[in-house]
Structure 1
């Protein structure tokens, strides 16, 4: 065979190996072709080296692609080779991709290769996962080597800065572009929406819509605008965006747009419009159903949420972890233990027990159903995949079932494993210490939260500490703790102190605290009842009667309790 025919055959083999489909080359096939190229000395050709690097990368072997790019092949590498390797390394190994670009392609008098728009676009994808300084270096390189008229590169820079939260730089690059595509507008629009700058996003969408046919609106534009409407609770603007969607023909055939519309209507409280929209569309995926089910839960329509979950399954849509989590939340609120058990079986069958949200919801469901052993079984099975949410749910379950000791033991295990507790975890642990009388441990955990983990206490943490001191009869320490608080005590903290006054029989402090509470929340009947009980404890029944008369005159009434009974799968209040 002639040299030209060998070259053509090699190129054809490499191109065929990269072709998607059932005949696509395996990693072993890629290695065989690599060996063949080495034997025939064809790697000296830049095209063959580029194709081999791309072949390894497409087969999911970026390390092998890098080895193919070893030092003795660098003489054959051209810009296409670098672009192929950097683009394949950008996601799995962004640091390596940027290093390769910086060492070989940054402008320098000693380097023959100069970066072009293709390789800069490739390295921008890697910079999206790196600190902002890397993107700024590439931006400086682009300013020297790429014209502002290159829409693709500068759109990538707009997106890069927006993803890093630097909307000022993103806007500046956008304003400097002499020509912009719909992708350029979308990059800035998405950036505003994701960074919580909803009003700026809506202003940008209005400017984009004013471009008319010059820059046509697409699914990304509509979805981002609707996301901004949701964040800003601008339902009227959202209705206008809905009208634009109908006008450009994106209604009913773009699932992402439909989902954004449903999300906007449900979160803005327009349940009727969301229901009409859901019934009118034919393109529904699992996200569509999840949005509707979550909307039902937010409106406390738990039975409807469970019904929608059943309809989704019957429609042949496979639930995901969000679907199971929301359905389990609804079953907890309805006290539908049987439904929760059936959902647990489906979770195990579909393999979603490793999902943090699903495991947490299962633990909560069994705990609220009074089946603490089942909750612990779920926790033990999924322990290796659990997040702090699941650990907190199990600690809370133990605490709510009066098992303060096991709750504290589990918390100690969490600390031993090096898992960082959050505010809610500490709230459950401090509550366990309070109800179990572990005062010293309570002091230690509060200090651990504030001094070691640097978590600013919430009101519930302060009230737990005051309640703990009050239950232990340490009323003076409770009062001193409140005096040393860095924030003004609210009703929950003062309420805990008033309960401590009742427990310790301190009438004078009780009267003082109660008067403060009457000013903060005059309609809370519990405070009046506590003060009346303190008076009664000291035999001062006339004063107790006066407090109750005062409570009635202010129409402060205690909320009535409500029980939920399930009879033949029907919940009755």
Structure 2
């Protein structure tokens, strides 16, 4: 193979000088029998090293061109290509390269097999992985720790259960930390945190070396099953083993406390941490968004004061969601501006959060504008968020039109989308259109309606006064009606002053369920009062008093000078309550005078 072929590059990328010199020396001296202490390497060895250099620099096509020009390809050259493709996330090409190697008759070694198994895992093609497993057995390489660990990893990722991975695990005679970590990770990623922790405990009992990465996975397993007790035990072992300065381990423990709802411990632990990175801040801000949105925004102010930290898309997604939770439109708009300045406006997940935020703040036009800006990148969540926004503000026709447009562009709706469009039809009174979508769920899309969908349709019919049809649907639904189902029937009876057989049946059925929602008792009392059943009315009111609960009061909030102020009915906790009620009295008086003037004009 000539020097000119080796240095040829379609992308005009120059070969490093030291490589060029080595190749030149190899071409000149390869046929000489020299006694020099320096013996030039063979051509294929130099070419293989150059292939690895190309992959490290991301020059995938250059590596392939060089490989194709090699007249001699040994197992090392094939392995370099397969490993390079796998590390560059060109998994399909790695698989094709492996097939070419087998067709040529070159037997793979343990590093070849572990690399191609990594590609099978990343492609999540179990059939390919099983074919490689057959090659492993044929070549007698089951005892290689590299191959066995790769097989475990592939089966744990591609299979629906951990049976195959556990079978391989049992036959490994000498296990290392990668073996144990792979098995614990497999259980955790399949949602079996209990199984993952069981393997972690077995690892400790066998006195195996515990790595920080293994501890991180064990903490995630504890968080997945809300086992904060186990998490605290692992936290103690972290301190005992001296891993408390390992940032990934500390971040996983912080995430554990957040996911399990131990916010006080999470905040105390956060303040005790010596080192923090962006993941640390994002973890706490994300949890605060769910529990105390105002504090999440304040935490972001502290975050910005820290030098060297720059928020990413995940940070802004949590902050925008926090603004949506408390309807802080002004704050959300400021965040939107920062998102634009940092160039994150093309991120679909962030755009979806903005659509939801603007809709929850009552600014539907801005939701539409953000939705239009991602016309070429919309996913199912984008369409769903916009539909929910339309539906919550009574724009049923727009939600229906959007649903039809989504289907026309080839996006298949799921159960959440149907819930969104049915809710929009319910609020807008589009009964026939809602029933059409309800019937199409199973007949056209193969989606079985769940209890929430049935309750929504019952409410849709009830609000339209079609109480008989709503009751028939309750009788035919494949679930046992719950309190929400009968509550929708009772609400319809109350709204339409229906005091017939259906209202009595619904009242009896809901009482059999021993309702827990105070609203249900309130509707029952209204129904009994309308039918002049004062004995039943008194019994329901007595039950309400015995429960000691009150109907949850509605809370409103407004943004005043960048501060969110919340208030409820007859709320006097505000320091300016006297002034607020004084102004409110003037507004009420003005309203009464305006109504009186309108009545006088109507009479004249």
CA distance in 2: counterparts of 1:259 and 1:82, whole angstroms:
40
What is the match of residue 309 of structure 1?
300
Q: Does 1:519 align with 2:519?
A: no
Distance 1:27 1:234 in 2: 57
CA contact (8 A) 2:521 2:544 kept: no
Tell me the TM-score normalized by structure 2: 0.82
Check 1:150–1:443 CA distance in 2 against 1; reply closer, same or farther (3 A cut): same
Instruction: Tell me: CA distance 1:10–1:363, structure 2 relative to 1, closer, same or farther (3 Å).
Output: closer
Instruction: Label 1:526 to 1:238 Cα distance change in 2 as closer, same or farther (>3 A).
Output: closer
Encode CA deviations 1:305-329: one digit per residue, 9 max, x unaligned.
Answer: 1111111121132112221121122
Q: Which residue of 1 aligns with 2:412?
A: 420
2:247 corresponds to 1:258 = no
Give the 3 Å change call, closer, same or farther, for CA 100–447 of structure 1 in structure 2: same
Distance 1:76 1:488, change over 3 A: same
3-state DSSP of counterpart to 1:564: strand
Partner of 2:99: 102
1:151 is aligned, of 139, 145, 149, to 145
Is it true that 1:88 corresponds to 2:87 in the alignment?
no
**TM-score, with length taken from structure 1:** 0.86
For residues 492 and 368 of structure 1, what CA distance do their matches in structure 2 show? 24
Q: Deviations over 1:42-62 (max 9, x none)?
A: 999422442454354444343
Partner of 1:242: 235
Say yes or no: does 1:488 pair with 2:488.
no
In structure 1, runs of 5+ residues without a counterpart are: 18-24
How far apart in 2 are the matches of 1:528 and 1:197? 40
d(CA) in 1 for partners of 2:537, 2:96: 76
* CA-to-aligned-CA distance 1:69-96 (integer Å, 9 cap, x gap): 44xx564111111111111222533233
Q: Secondary structure at the match of 1:488?
A: coil
Structure-2 residue corresponding to 1:180: 175
Q: Distance in 2 between matches of 1:30 and 1:147?
A: 37
SS at match of 2:338: helix
Q: Distance in 2 between matches of 1:478 and 1:122?
A: 59
1:273 aligns with 2:265: yes
Residues 1:28 and 2:26 are matched in the alignment: no
Name the residue aligned to 2:366. Answer: 374
User: Could you list the per-position Cα deviations for residues 67-122 of structure 1 after superposition, in whole angstroms to 9, with x for gaps in the alignment?
Assistant: 4444xx5641111111111112225332332233234337xxxx652221121122
Aligned-partner Cα distance in 1 for 2:185–2:227: 17
Match of 1:220 among 201, 210, 213: 213
Offset of 1:405 from its aligned partner?
0.9
Q: Which structure 2 residues correspond to residues 284-433 of structure 1 after superposition, within 5 A?
A: 284-298=276-290, 300-316=291-307, 317-433=309-425
Q: Deviations over 1:405-432 (max 9, x none)?
A: 1111111111111112222221121122
SS at match of 1:114: coil
Instruction: Give the Cα–Cα distance (whole angstroms) in 1 for the partners of residues 417 and 311 of structure 2.
Output: 29
Matched, 1:233 2:226: yes
Q: Secondary structure at the match of 2:376?
A: helix
Residue matched to 1:198: 193
Indicate if the aligned counterparts of 2:525 and 2:540 stay in contact, CA closer than 8 A.
no
Checking the alignment, whether the CA contact within 8 Å between 2:451 and 2:479 is kept in structure 1 is no
1:342-384 CA-to-partner distances (Å, cap 9, x unmatched) read 1111111222233333222212222222211122112112232
- For residue 555 of structure 2, give the secondary structure of its aligned residue in structure 1: coil
> What is the CA RMSD across the aligned residues, in angstroms?
3.2
Rounded to whole Å, the distance in 2 between the matches of 1:185 and 1:532 is 61
* Offset, 1:474: 2.7
User: SS of 2:565's equivalent?
Assistant: strand
Cα distance in structure 1, aligned partners of 2:261 and 2:519: 33
Pairs within 5 Å for 1:438-457: 438-457=430-449
Q: 1:272 to 1:440 in 2, by over 3 A?
A: closer
In the alignment, is the contact (CA less than 8 A) between 1:26 and 1:59 conserved in 2?
no
Decide whether aligned partners of structure 1 residues 408 and 79 sit closer, same or farther in structure 2, where only a CA change above 3 A counts: same
Which moves more between the two structures, 126-135 or 557-566?
Answer: 557-566
5+ residue gaps, structure 2, are 31-40, 568-604
CA deviations on 1:245-304 (whole Å, 9 max, x unpaired) are 11222112x221011110112222333332232112222111111111222234x22222
Distance in 2 of aligned mates of 1:51 and 1:484: 70
Q: Which stretches of structure 1, 4 residues or more, deviate above 6 A after TM superposition?
A: 31-34, 40-44
Identify the residue that residue 169 of structure 1 maps to in structure 2.
Answer: 164
Number of equivalenced pairs: 542
Q: Deviations over 1:142-174 (max 9, x none)?
A: 233354442222211222212224422212222
**Separation in 1, partners of 2:564, 2:67:** 68
